[in-house]
């Protein structure tokens, strides 16, 4: 069983940056991992909250207008949250933990390098039917530009975590980590995801304030902000498509108009059923609320979601579902923050960076619903499982080691 878990984590790390189908195959083995890591996993509170959320969603689906849609949505939440978390948690070898993470990061970097080449006209931007490295002036990296932005933000914060937490680090390695921070942030900027521009600005500002308050040293924060300003300026000069996208942003931008319209519909739905919602996956199906809109705006129902994870969650699950998600989030962040305080330096750095990466994605999902779909959610919960599982093993080893 241990070998299956080991191979499945490597398979997940290698394939999920290319396609969420590979992530499904790897994460599906998470079900088989339960027996291998149950002694540790059964005490993990995050697992309990995940199971409770999924159980509530299945029950709500049973009593919804379209149960089949609800069951499909809850299968998605299980496949995107629970399975990857269990898969990562089941990896018990510290050396494999480092290598699996390295394989994942190397795979993302591989895709990003060719995507950047394609962005500047040095490589084909498209492969086959629907496999885009670049489309319409947006960096996509074989996924949606918003999903790519979220992963770039998370990985930039993980690299920053290693710079801040790892302690004594060789100068070359530190320089490499700092380079990765700017590499991922530069790629994020080229995605054109304005929601993740906001998420990156807020998260890195919060991290900078924490750093200054904690260390009383502002030089690194100021240098980083200056470096990012220079990088953004250069990229704006090199990319007319990006300049147009940013300058056209405003209240008349069709993307902004449609999001605001969907938010209005979501608020009507939440007001109608505040406690339990309409059922998983069914907020976007409530035609009666879209019919309240002026006729030209009703076309927004073509979207597969309500374009804000939190409004979408409340419309689907009601206040009960929102509370359960808050408990999941609090437990995940609490576990990561606690892990960042003691133990192996690599695990601490991972936990610290992922803590801020988790927050960044939570902020970004105010404008999208990546947490309800494949890709970003799978990778986030898989990494959380890897870190919390490894932290549990390290804690057990410290207790068993005589002083």
Asked if residue 353 lies in contact with residue 160, where contact means CB atoms within 8 angstroms, the answer is yes
Residues 276-303: tens digit of each pLDDT: 999 999 999 999 999 999 988 999 999 8
Predicted local distance difference test score (pLDDT) of residue 4: 83
Asked if residue 6 lies in contact with residue 93, where contact means CB atoms within 8 angstroms, the answer is yes
Asked if residue 370 lies in contact with residue 147, where contact means CB atoms within 8 angstroms, the answer is yes
> Over the chain, what is the mean pLDDT?
90
Predicted local distance difference test score (pLDDT) of residue 403: 44
Convert 13-36 to b/e letters by CB count within 10 Å (16 or more is b): bbbbbbebebbbebbebbeebeeb
Can you list the alpha helix ranges (DSSP code H) found in 16-133? 20-28, 30-41, 45-62, 67-77, 83-89, 94-119
pLDDT at 134 over 50: yes
Residues 164-221: tens digit of each pLDDT: 886 667 888 888 999 999 999 999 999 999 999 999 999 999 999 988 888 767 777 7
pTM of the prediction?
A: 0.94
Residues 318-352: tens digit of each pLDDT: 999 999 999 999 999 999 999 998 878 899 999 99
**DSSP three-state, residue 100:** helix
Residues 1-52: tens digit of each pLDDT: 567 888 999 999 999 999 989 889 988 877 777 777 777 788 889 999 999 9
pLDDT at 374 over 50: yes
Mean pLDDT confidence for 263-271: 96
Asked if residue 207 lies in contact with residue 356, where contact means CB atoms within 8 angstroms, the answer is yes
State the Cα–Cα distance between residues 222 and 210, nearest whole angstrom. Answer: 13
Q: What percentage of the chain exceeds 90 in pLDDT?
A: 65
Instruction: Name the helix (H) or strand (E) containing 127.
Output: strand 126-127
Q: Write out the two tokens for 45.
A: 């509170």
Residues 60-105: tens digit of each pLDDT: 999 999 999 999 999 999 999 999 999 999 887 778 899 999 999 9
């Amino acid at each position: 069983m241990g070998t299956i878990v080991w191979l499945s984590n490597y398979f997940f790390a290698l394939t999920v940056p290319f396609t969420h189908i590979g992530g499904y195959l790897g994460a599906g083995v998470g079900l088989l991992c339960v027996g291998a890591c149950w002694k540790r996993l059964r005490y993990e509170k995050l697992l309990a909250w995940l199971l409770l959320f999924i159980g509530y969603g299945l029950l709500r689906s049973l009593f919804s207008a379209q149960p089949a849609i609800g069951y499909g949505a809850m299968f998605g939440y299980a496949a995107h949250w629970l399975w990857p978390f269990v898969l990562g948690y089941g990896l018990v070898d510290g050396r494999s933990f480092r290598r699996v993470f390295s394989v994942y990061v190397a795979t993302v970097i591989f895709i990003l390098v060719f995507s950047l080449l394609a962005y500047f006209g040095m490589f084909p931007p498209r492969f086959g039917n629907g496999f885009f490295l670049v489309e319409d002036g947006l960096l996509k990296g074989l996924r949606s530009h918003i999903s790519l932005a979220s992963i770039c933000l998370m990985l930039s914060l993980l690299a920053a975590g290693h710079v801040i937490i790892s302690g004594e680090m060789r100068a070359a390695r530190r320089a490499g980590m700092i380079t990765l921070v700017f590499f991922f942030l530069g790629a994020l900027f080229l995605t054109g995801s304005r929601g993740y521009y906001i998420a990156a600005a807020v998260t890195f500002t919060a991290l900078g304030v924490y750093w200054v308050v904690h260390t009383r040293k502002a030089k690194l924060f100021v240098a980083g902000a200056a470096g990012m300003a220079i990088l953004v300026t250069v990229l704006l000069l090199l990319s007319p498509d990006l300049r147009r996208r940013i300058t056209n942003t405003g209240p008349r931008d069709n993307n902004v108009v449609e999001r605001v319209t969907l938010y209005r519909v979501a608020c009507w739905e939440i007001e109608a059923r505040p406690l339990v919602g309409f059922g998983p996956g069914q907020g976007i199906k409530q035609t009666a609320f879209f019919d309240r809109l002026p006729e030209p705006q009703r076309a927004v129902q073509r979207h597969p979601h309500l374009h804000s994870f939190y409004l979408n969650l409340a419309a689907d699950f009601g206040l009960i579902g929102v509370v359960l998600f808050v408990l999941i989030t609090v437990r995940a962040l609490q576990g990561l923050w606690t892990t960042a305080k003691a133990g192996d330096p690599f695990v601490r750095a991972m936990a610290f960076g992922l803590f801020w990466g988790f927050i960044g994605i939570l902020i970004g999902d105010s404008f999208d619903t990546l947490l309800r779909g494949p890709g970003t959610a799978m990778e986030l919960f898989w990494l959380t499982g890897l870190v919390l599982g490894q932290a549990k093993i390290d804690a057990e080893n410290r207790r068993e080691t005589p002083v």
